[in-house]
Structure 1
Amino acid sequence: MKAVVENEHGGPEALRITEEPTPEVGPDDVLIEVSGAGLNRADTVQRKGKYPPPEGASNVYGLEVSGTVVQLGEEAARTSFLKEGHKVVALLAGGGYATQVVVNQAQVLPAPAGIDLVDAAALPEVGATVWSNLFGPGGLKPNGPEQKDGEQSVLVHGGTGGIGAHAVQLCRALGYHVFTTVGSQAKADWVRDLASRQEEANAQKTKPRRLGNLEIINYREQNFADIIEKETDGEGVRAILDVVGGKYLEDNVASLGLNGLLTVIAVQGGPSGELNLATLMSKRATVRGTTLRGRTSERKGEILRDMAGTVWRMIADGLIDPAVERRFALDDVQAAHEYFDSGEQLGKTVLVMN
């Protein structure tokens, strides 16, 4: 099979297409003929030598795929809903930049209805990341704010990234007031267009949802903490999903409301920052950092199943767009990473296998 393997680190030129043997299918595994593989920030950090695969994971790049089931292990065939020929998506610890991949059955979901199978590769990683970090204990309510809660707000940093675009759409569809940060007017326009398409799809439903408000903050021109303090009358937001890290720590905590939750999932702005513990204590707020890649197959499977019950339905209804802006052939993987590194990347980027 063709694959992009972890041999050396550096810029996009370090990526090479190689021929690798088809991975061995274990008892609980599924072999997938890959249609598309999503690119993620983690891939570029791995390429630079700063994010090695977990122990035992494939040395092939790629954390999410879509494709067709071609073989099941003995236990998977006995216990799984999956059958040969099923169209699926999968969340991986590695192995996605390849024409075939083997993954534990727990990490596989049916591809969502209503979208192209290649574009579906853009969903498992962002969907699981957003769901596991914003919803559940300590975070937002998966069914949206209850009437007694009043209007609740959430801050999503990086609204034009794959994770950010997904989080903005999902939170709005559930009725949360969304603040999101972007770095230019062009990027603000892109998020606004994505929101407009969501509103159009919602208006066509027999029973439209009450979509949450959206406020886009250009962080190069405005301080997001000041905007949030003003627009929430000083109450702050219920939750923050942050990919910046240390640079935003102080302003993030200032933006939290009482019992608020700040979740840091990346440190693009550095790993260290100042934290006023008195402010944190007075708000009874929580700051946590998480990663998804190293979790067990069982836990990843739980997250996927919880997430899909809500998100897959919204995708079918047109309320969540995979936001795939660029497709590249696998042979053009270097160009795909150059685009991702450029700072001009919008939404999701997908590698096409055939």
Structure 2
Amino acid sequence: MSAGTDPASKPDTGLVPVAEKVRLLAAEHAAAADRDRRLAPEVVGALREAGFARHFVAAGLGGSQGSFTELSRAVQIVGEACASTAWCASLAALSSRFAAHLPAEGHQEIWGESADTFVVTGQPPMGKASVVDGGHRLSGRWTYVSGADFAEWALLCGVVAGDGEPQARFFALPRKSFTVLETWDSVGMKATSSHSVVVDDVFVPQHLSYDRTDMLTGRNSWSDVASHNVPFQAVGGLTFIVPAIGAAQGALNACVTALTGKKLSTSAGIDLVRASAQIESARLLVEQNTAVLDDRAFTPELMARNERNAAYSADTLVEAVGALVRAAGTSGLSEKGALQRFWRDVVGAASHVALRFETASARTYPAALLGT
């Protein structure tokens, strides 16, 4: 297949229509979630029931074995109501995809009883591990682990010291093996529960660990499911830009509501039109990315383009929501209104390291363009 294959041709698991129900529930709880800095239990339950956590889990384990295109569309729908809910939905799906690199016995331990298990990920190698009989012992503290409040398993990266070069590995731990410290205090994406996870000298058996290189290269020795064999670079910042697109659309909707019935100035009209085009362009760029992933078009050029698209979209969305706040005027900054919340959420999402030009596309896209 080419990277231009129609996304509508991808297998449909039914996640998109169910996401509309999650959007409606998330909208009811969005203001409270922002105030309380956590998702309501009803919303977490709705994410589970909708199938976000099982989206990339193998069908043989009761999972949906879905596509990146379908997940992206569903997350954007949820993001129109609550960016934090969409962020957790996206991370729940992608974290399960990371966990699929574990040995088969690990798959059974995590998903044997339910494909809807919530897995969270600490990607930076912030822990230290030592080799022991049957596995490793792990200690460390991982910051910004989104969804930590309701996580049932955590997939955490640590460095294993040995006689040779240190090796980075991922370790899967059940909830009883780690502690959550409520350290998340960002003014945006408040309800993502992106807290710190602490592990203190915990034994991790061999079947709950794998070499980080497997995730980076997309090499999976234990699963032939297409979505489990995707290079990390190809995914790029997709996990984080998709909730931001939904939130930006939510900001546009809130701005239109605020301006309805008012006399529209020329400058406000220009801001509104430009912002709507910027949001739509970000959505189209992300559709390019998901087509690459679902069509398995993992050329260096297309993978670098995926990184570029995500970083560029983040910058564009920040500009767009700023213009929407300007267009709405003073009313757009009302704490009782949704627009200022979406504005904060988009800015917060865009600050993620995976969406920064200097840490993503700037490293790879020039080389792809120049053929070096």
Q: TM-score range by the shorter chain?
A: under 0.3
- Greater fraction strand: 1
- Greater fraction helix: 2
Q: TM-score, normalised by structure 2?
A: 0.26
